[in-house]
Amino acid sequence: MLFALASACGKTGSPPIHWEDDVDRGFATAAAEDRPVVMFFGASWDASAKEIERETFGDPRVRDELQAFVAIHVDCTDTDGEPYLSAQRRFAIVGTPTLIFFAPGGKTELGRKYEYVTPISMRALLQWSATACAPGASSCRRAGRPRSRSRRRSSR
């Protein structure tokens, strides 16, 4: 559905997003190819999720950034369906839209967004996720968790 949406928007020049709908296969690919992962949990009845699909994933620059990622889509339209229930348990999903970013290899969750994300913000998140735990990175930490700084107390 998302693939068709990007094509229907008439935005050309950037490759379409290849959405994996099998979570286990997506993470196996990420591990085998040492690629970062972005997971998108959306529903057809969720206006914010539809806006992300249309505006954010329709942006050619976002699609370009996503080529380096394993992009996994979980359709949460049927809240009684097994794909949603399984993902809800496994990833503690509380609603849609939800975006989860994982470091290369797919083992380290870096952060989550629970709201509409602009194309500019999405590009920044993708760029950060792709390099957050890369060789040579100073640390591998979750978004929003700044490094603790030890403060020296001056001796008076």
Q: Are 4 and 16 in contact (CB under 8 A)?
A: no
User: pTM for the whole thing?
Assistant: 0.80
Q: How many CB atoms lie within 10 A of CB 16?
A: 17
Answer yes or no: is 145 within a domain: no
Answer yes or no: is 143 within a domain: no
Answer yes or no: is 150 within a domain: no
Q: What is the DSSP string of 28-84?
A: HHHHHHT--EEEEEE-TT-HHHHHIIIIITTSHHHHHHHTTSEEEEEE-SSTTSHHH
Answer yes or no: is 147 within a domain: no
Q: Note down the domain range covering 60.
A: 2-131
Which amino acid, residue 65? E
Hey, is 89 helix, strand or coil? helix
CATH number at residue 77: 3.40.30.10
- Which of 50, 53, 26 lies closest to 39 in space, CA to CA? 26
Answer yes or no: is 85 within a domain: yes
Q: What is the DSSP string of 105-137?
A: TS-SEEEEE-S---HHHHHHHHHHHHHTTSTT-
Digitized pLDDT (tens) for each residue of the chain, 156 residues in all: 444 444 444 445 789 999 999 999 999 999 999 999 999 999 999 999 999 999 999 999 999 999 999 999 999 999 898 878 988 999 999 999 999 999 999 999 999 999 999 999 999 999 999 888 766 555 565 544 333 333 333 343
How many separate domains does the chain show? Answer: 1
Question: Phi, psi (5° rounding) for residue 140?
Answer: -125, 105
- Which of 109, 108, 13, 113 lies closest to 67 in space, CA to CA? 13
Length of the chain: 156
